[in-house]
Amino acid sequence: MASLGEECSTETLAFMELAIQQAKLALDVLEVPVGLALIPKLPLPASCVIVEDGKPIASGRNRTTETRNATRHAEMEAIDFLLEQWQKNGLSMSEVAEKFSSCSLYVTCEPCIMCASALSILGIKEVYYGCANDKFGGCGSILSLNSEVTPRKGFKCTGGVMASEAILLLRSFYEQGNPNEMVWKQPLRL
Amino acid sequence: MSCIGVSIVQLFARTEHLAQEIQYFHSSEKLRSLIIVSGYYNKEKNFKREILVSAESLKLLESLIFFFDFNASRLPLKSLDLPENVIASFIDPKNANQIIRRLNQIEPLENLRHVKRVQKKILEEGLMVCRPCIYVLFWNSCFCYIVQLLTLEIYVTGQIHLSVILCLASEGDNQLDSIPPHLQELISFYQLSPFITKVCKYAATSKEEWQEQCKFWPTSYHPRTYTDSCCFRKPELSSSHPVSDIVAPNDPLHLNSSFDELKQPHMGVACLYPWLWAEQQSLAQGLSNWHPLRHAAIVAIESSAARDRLLFPSMGNNEEKYLELDHEKSSCTSSPAKRLRTIPENVDDNEKVNAVSQSSEQLSERPYLCTGYDIFLVWEPCAMCAMALVHQRIRRIFYAFPNPNAGALGSVHRLQGEKSLNHHYAVFRVLLPQQVLHKPDVEVAEIK
């Protein structure tokens, strides 16, 4: 895993900013009082943007609560969106594989083991993330799926991009609190 | 006494310190690897041969096992569980109380909760122990030897020996120098003489494994107890056999219930080569629906989430919208692609048990995700699926075939042993009876 160096370009920062904006949106959505009472727990404001050739082509945010499917992380949402789009456009499997290999992912929080594994299966080019995830991180924190070459492809991984903003976002999520105790008893993806 | 005619398990059972001895032999002889070949007759009078491989590094161990696997035919292989180094010391039983209390404050063993801090040994009076000779085949750099190991030890007194773990040892040669300063104080105060010893890294998952572990250093073992015994009716035919470290032997499986599933020609090719797998899928389903990440476990989780929304619809507008969306989704994924079940029968059983609470169908009473559910997989899940099952709070995983390329429950990774995860499931490997594997309508051979 590469650490944040000088090569962290303005472009990188801009895309991460975009991911953080998305996450903020997610946070705002849940401030709607109607939603709060009914939703047993809030999804964390983690969000991601997939970029191809310098253009953002997909974004996603956690939808674990709405779907009651704890695997619907931001990364999985964005991946599914892209797969659907590309299949609709009639791309073949090898074309889709090739497209993924030219995509970068910007995500506020280090991809978990599941997402990191999925990204390496798809053969994504590189991943930039904000804060590390010392519970589930699959890009160096717990496992390093990005650097495992066989049988899948590894990918370049850069952590700590605008980490303080990402942490701030998570903190404000927790401070916002939830009337339902479930959140604290059953921690979500961090 | 010679080890010829003794299985490795028996060998270990007879000699208390064999594992330590091997480790010591390793370091004193500067061996890179040590291989013990054992042959014996089992109860059925069949000759069994076993090889025990122990090497200085995990890498070497892996390549040796690989080598034997491919070159030395089909001998059962065992590898020594690579232990964690700790710094320990003998202590005076008079001070034991104070020392242990202090140690638990300043140096808690966070990641080794299963390891007991203190080892107690009562040495019998005047006992003379002659250690068995072991025929050992080893090589260092380029020579092969066969040697005999013989050690003699005489214990003279009936003393109680207490030793206590001080802290984890760091990597490198001068492990004893790495003792943190606040421990140094304690050591000099009680005039302890620290030494390096080994403890087992992971908590035991079966009684047998625990007994093995205790030969290194005592550990604690908490067998899993599941309160809802309704999951498996009393087995008339116990067709699962315990496999070394992943199967709790006191948990027999009744396989008849899953026979129907196995008969279907949909054996999961979960993640041997994901893109290729997508291609196979597309042939069956038409080109519009292939998805390289739609592994068996992921599909099962999706279906169970859809079921959850069906059973416990909430009043929120948002939720209802999503419910509809997933009707469409699940209709295209659930049928042929769904190659395993998220134990619908067992869920029903659970529901009967909880009928009182479930019948009211209060939102707060519904199970959280897949809490308490079991999943049956043909192949050991990959890292993505294994982690997805953690997220979804699956209780137990049963799988039949390990996946040496990508398996994350023992083969490549061992997710169930990752302490940091917020949920841990029990993992079982099911040994399928021969007649199931050889049924012509089960397409196991094709997949392999």
**What residue type is assigned to position B76 of the chain?**
P
Residue A157 domain boundaries = 10-176
Q: Phi, psi at residue B148, to the nearest 5°?
A: -115, 135
- pLDDT given at position A186: 36
Q: Is residue A148 flagged as an active site residue?
A: no
Q: Phi, psi at residue A163, to the nearest 5°?
A: -60, -40
**What residue type is assigned to position B136 of the chain?**
V
Counted domains in chain A: 1
- Paired with A156 in beta bridges are A126
Closest residue of chain B to A180, computed from CA coordinates: B364
Q: Please report whether residue A181 resides in a domain.
A: no
* ipTM for this prediction: 0.82
Residues of chain B in contact with residue A75, where contact means CB-CB under 8 angstroms, are none
- pLDDT given at position B262: 36
Structure tokens at A140: 């160096």
Interface contact B368-A186, CB threshold 8 A: yes
Residue B356 to chain A, least CA–CA distance (Å): 22
Q: Please report whether residue A3 resides in a domain.
A: no
Closest residue of chain A to B384, computed from CA coordinates: A114
What number of C-beta contacts closer than 8 Å exist between A and B? 114
Interface contact B302-A69, CB threshold 8 A: yes
- Of the candidates A71, A113, A134, the beta carbon closest to that of B392 is on A71
Q: Please report whether residue A187 resides in a domain.
A: no
Q: Please report whether residue A186 resides in a domain.
A: no
- Of the candidates B271, B275, B308, the beta carbon closest to that of A68 is on B308
State the number of CA atoms in the 13 A half-sphere of B128 facing the CB. Answer: 1
Residue A114 to chain B, least CA–CA distance (Å): 4
Interface contact B319-A66, CB threshold 8 A: yes
The per-residue pLDDT string of chain B (448 residues; one tens digit each, 9 = 90 and over) reads 234 556 666 666 665 666 676 667 666 666 666 666 666 666 766 666 666 766 666 766 776 666 666 555 445 555 445 567 777 887 887 888 888 888 888 887 777 777 888 887 765 544 444 343 333 344 444 343 433 333 333 344 456 678 888 887 776 666 667 777 888 888 888 888 787 777 777 676 666 677 777 777 788 777 654 433 333 333 333 333 333 333 333 333 333 333 333 333 333 333 344 455 555 554 444 444 678 888 888 888 888 888 888 887 764 434 433 333 333 333 333 333 333 433 343 344 444 334 333 344 444 456 777 888 888 888 889 999 999 999 998 888 888 888 888 889 988 888 888 888 888 888 888 887 776 666 555 444 444 3
Q: Please report whether residue A170 resides in a domain.
A: yes
- Among B299, B391, B403, the strongest candidate for a mutation testing the A interface, having the largest count of A CBs within 10 A, is B391
- pLDDT given at position B386: 93
- Among A114, A148, A186, the strongest candidate for a mutation testing the B interface, having the largest count of B CBs within 10 A, is A114
Residue B323 to chain A, least CA–CA distance (Å): 8
Closest residue of chain B to A97, computed from CA coordinates: B275
Interface contact B368-A152, CB threshold 8 A: no
Residue B311 to chain A, least CA–CA distance (Å): 12
Residue A70 belongs to domain with CATH number: 3.40.140.10
What is the C-alpha to C-alpha distance for residues B131 and B1, in angstroms, rounded to an integer? 8
Listed residue (B9, B218, B95) closest to B210, CA to CA: B218
Q: Which of A6, A17, A66, A75 is catalytic?
A: A75
Query: How far, rounded to the nearest angstrom, does the alpha carbon of residue B310 sit from its chain's CA centroid?
Result: 35
The pTM score is: 0.50
Q: Which spans in B143-287 are helix H? A: 181-190, 207-213, 256-263, 274-285
- Paired with B166 in beta bridges are none
Interface contact B422-A187, CB threshold 8 A: yes
What is the C-alpha to C-alpha distance for residues A176 and B56, in angstroms, rounded to an integer? 52
Closest residue of chain B to A121, computed from CA coordinates: B274
Domains with residue ranges and CATH for chain B = 2-71 (no CATH), 83-128+156-216 (3.30.70), 374-436 (3.40.140.10)
- Of the candidates B275, B301, B322, the beta carbon closest to that of A71 is on B301
- Of the candidates B301, B326, B383, the beta carbon closest to that of A145 is on B383
What is the C-alpha to C-alpha distance for residues B440 and B321, in angstroms, rounded to an integer? 45
Which residue, chain included where needed, has tokens 């397409």? B443
Q: Please report whether residue A5 resides in a domain.
A: no
Residue A186 to chain B, least CA–CA distance (Å): 8
What is the C-alpha to C-alpha distance for residues B8 and B135, in angstroms, rounded to an integer? 12
Closest residue of chain B to A69, computed from CA coordinates: B305
B168 phi-psi bin (left φ>0, alpha ψ -120 to 50, beta other): beta
- Of the candidates A66, A142, A151, the beta carbon closest to that of B406 is on A151
Q: Which residues of chain A have pLDDT under 50?
A: 1-6, 31-43, 178-190
